[in-house]
Structure 1
Amino acid sequence: MNKKIRLGILGGGGDSLIGVLHRVASTMYDKYQIVGGVFNPNWEDNIGFANQIGLPTNRIYKDFESLVNEELKLPDTERIQVISILTPNFLHFPMAKKLLENGFHVICEKPMTTTYEEAKILSIALKKAKTIFAITYTYTGYPMIRQMREMILNGELGKIQKVDAQYYQGWINPIIHDKEKRSTTWRLNPEKSGISCCIGDIGTHAFDMLEYVSGHKIESVLADLNYLYSDNKMDIDGTVLLRCNNKVKGVICTSQIATGEENSFIIKVYGDKAGLKWEQENPNYLYLMEEGKPLQVLKPGHAYNSELSLDGTKLPPGHPEGIFDSMGNIYKGVAKAINKEPYNHGEFPTIIDGVRGMSFIEKVVESHQKGNIWVNI
């Protein structure tokens, strides 16, 4: 029997949404075992959380430096193999760089870094390390998103004409309108988040997803961002016009002040033969639209779906799967790569996606600051 991949985690303690998401996802296909980490910079909270989730505490470290130093003392057969970085944005780069330089595989939350220059440095470090690097654009793991990708790749939509992504949330409303709250949350602090809040947090999901499903590269952007208050340095809403290769055009609309919205992420791609539409809040439904024909609804688990889609489906048709399953599929793909097993390149986003995502963030902000002009990525 193959041994499980030894997984370490940085951040994600307490009531962190992404923490439980990553932990559950890593267990789904029985590929990983969490053996250690640093869940919180406060030692009492760190060790207390490890006890809470039932982890042995002998490899719960006081800080990141201790984790790396102590793990490197262990033999290869015991050392942590891959580490998930779930910390605030500003820690992604220094942590990922040191991990790569010391031979660890890395799974990193998005945005990958806080600057495009940092992203390029990580790309060089990965080439030297020759390890696996995945970035968790989580929604690419949904079976029907993978089906969408394969249908477009196979030409079922014909020549692509337009791409469209909308990602609306309302969670920042209670924060942005309170001067004290908006000045103390890390999401709105450039030193911890980078130069963008909304575009960096959810706009990159939309950017990556459109490139993932359509197979087209976004080449230039024209952006109009909203900061709402003069003392707020971070965008919390924005619209971005897109120009892609092959003369394809599109739009990304993002907001974290869309009052009442929860996590409304909608992807639409239109070709000259048909269109496809997918909604994250109803992820089991992929809508196929063709001129002169009734609307078709494709669902996961059926034999008509692609091999990539079926590989990411664990349950029979009619049994809902969701965000945990989507992240689990990414972890599954990373496990295949670490174990040197054959895998589809659509199974997990790589450092290339992370670098392009950082370029997108910076060019969107540049476009807005220069008076809403077209800027090349």
Structure 2
Amino acid sequence: MPKKIRLGILGGGGDSLIGVLHRVASFINDNYEITGAVFNPDHEQSLAFAREIDVPTDRIYKDFDTFVAEEMKLPAEERIQVVSVLTPNFLHFPMAHKLLENGFHVICEKPMTTTLEEAKQLQAAQEKSGSIFGLTHTYTGYPMTRQIRKMIEGGMLGNIQKVDAKYYQGWINDLIHDKEKRTTTWRLDPAKSGASCCNGDIGVHAFNMIEFTTGLRINDILCDMNSLYDDNPMDIDATTLVRFDGSKAKGVIRASQIATGEENNLSIAIYGDKGGIKWEQENPNFVYYFPESGPMQVYKPGHAYNSELSLNGTKLPPGHPEGIFDAMANIYLGVAKAVRGEAYDAGEFPTMTDGVRGMDFIEKSVASNQQGNIWVSLES
């Protein structure tokens, strides 16, 4: 087996959910070894966290610029190869851009940047560098969302007619109704979060899931957002109508962070002229298929009837649930294949293209809302 890929991490220290998700995911398929990091802006805290998780401290750098400078002094065979960017949104672009300029491969949290213009600049930097870039739309890593992609590719739904994607959470209730909290949290600060909170954070996942599973490209959108309070410039609820390029299908993206009592309710329903299909993130091991003529069928991971893409992302025998760590691990696995020059399916990890598309969706949804809820077109 090839030697493990040397992995660097930016952010994700302490009790960060995203940090533990990425670290565990990198370990699952035995492809990566955490070699260096800046876990925290405070160097002492970063060192303490490295000792806590048993990562050697000799390459725990005081800041990002030092990370790059010191790694570039090392011979290529010792240098960190892939860097995971797990910082708040406003740091994604400057960090990823500098990493690509210096030849590192990058795995980046979404949204990829805070503006579409930054996304285009990042795309140009990647094209110049030739580095691999993976974007962690985690839910594309589930075996059964990959199965949906292949079922639709195989014509099991026929011509798509209707798509309904929903992502409901209730977590922001604790912040939005408290004036001090809603004016001090970075999630509701456009300078740090970008132009959109709800669609930028979770609506873009639903957008990505539609394009990932159906193979259709969303061409036009009409968005209606809610911010609840006059002193809150950010959306915390959004409904977006969508039209597709080259298709008569229509769709809707429903996203909310004030859906009281909801936890992480991402779901998608897709209806064609031959059948329909449904999937829910909180119950991710079941795909419900409704053929036009015949009883409902339930697909589960690990069975031989599933596609190669689904089975390649399945680590356990049937009946053993695959979860969010496994989904993220499948994205890391796809990036590892690309870094090593191995063959991989285009559905194994989201790319720079998905990041640019996502930023276009976010900016155009804000524009649609601000201009009086009108139809606007995404870039081709």
Pair 1:21-2:17 in alignment: no
Contact kept, 8 Å, 2:273 with 2:292, in 1: the verdict is: no
In 2: Cα distance, 1:133 partner to 1:44 partner: 30
Give the alignment of 1:1-377 within 5 angstroms. 1-245=1-245, 246-377=247-378
In 2: Cα distance, 1:292 partner to 1:130 partner: 48
- SS of the aligned residue for 1:247 comes to coil
In 2: Cα distance, 1:239 partner to 1:97 partner: 32
In 2: Cα distance, 1:348 partner to 1:40 partner: 27
Q: Deviations over 1:42-76 (max 9, x none)?
A: 11211111111111100000000000000000010
- SS of the aligned residue for 1:184 comes to coil
Shift of 1:369: 0.1
Shift of 1:164: 1.1
Q: Deviations over 1:284-303 (max 9, x none)?
A: 00000123422111000000
In 2: Cα distance, 1:354 partner to 1:289 partner: 32
In 2: Cα distance, 1:64 partner to 1:152 partner: 43
Match of 1:113, as an amino acid?
Answer: T
Q: Deviations over 1:280-326 (max 9, x none)?
A: 00000000012342211100000000000000000000001100000
Q: Deviations over 1:208-267 (max 9, x none)?
A: 110000000000100000000000011000000000121211000000000000000011
Mean alpha-carbon deviation: is it higher for 113-122 or for 155-164? 155-164
In 1: Cα distance, 2:33 partner to 2:108 partner: 17
Q: Deviations over 1:331-363 (max 9, x none)?
A: 000000000000000000000000000000000
In 2: Cα distance, 1:235 partner to 1:298 partner: 36
- SS of the aligned residue for 1:126 comes to helix
- Mark the runs of 5 or more structure 1 residues left unpaired by the alignment: none
Contact kept, 8 Å, 2:267 with 2:280, in 1: the verdict is: yes
Shift of 1:129: 0.2
In 2: Cα distance, 1:36 partner to 1:5 partner: 12
In 2: Cα distance, 1:307 partner to 1:292 partner: 26
Q: Deviations over 1:87-139 (max 9, x none)?
A: 00000000010000000000000000000000000010001000100100000
In 1: Cα distance, 2:110 partner to 2:40 partner: 19
In 2: Cα distance, 1:126 partner to 1:199 partner: 25
Match of 2:329, as an amino acid?
Answer: G
Shift of 1:2: 1.1
Shift of 1:195: 0.5
In 1: Cα distance, 2:14 partner to 2:256 partner: 27
In 1: Cα distance, 2:282 partner to 2:253 partner: 18
Match of 1:130, as an amino acid?
Answer: G
- SS of the aligned residue for 2:183 comes to helix
- Mark the runs of 5 or more structure 2 residues left unpaired by the alignment: none
- SS of the aligned residue for 2:315 comes to coil
Q: Could you state the TM-score of these two structures normalised by the residue count of structure 2? A: 0.99
In 1: Cα distance, 2:160 partner to 2:107 partner: 32
RMSD: 0.6
In 1: Cα distance, 2:268 partner to 2:6 partner: 35
Contact kept, 8 Å, 2:221 with 2:243, in 1: the verdict is: yes
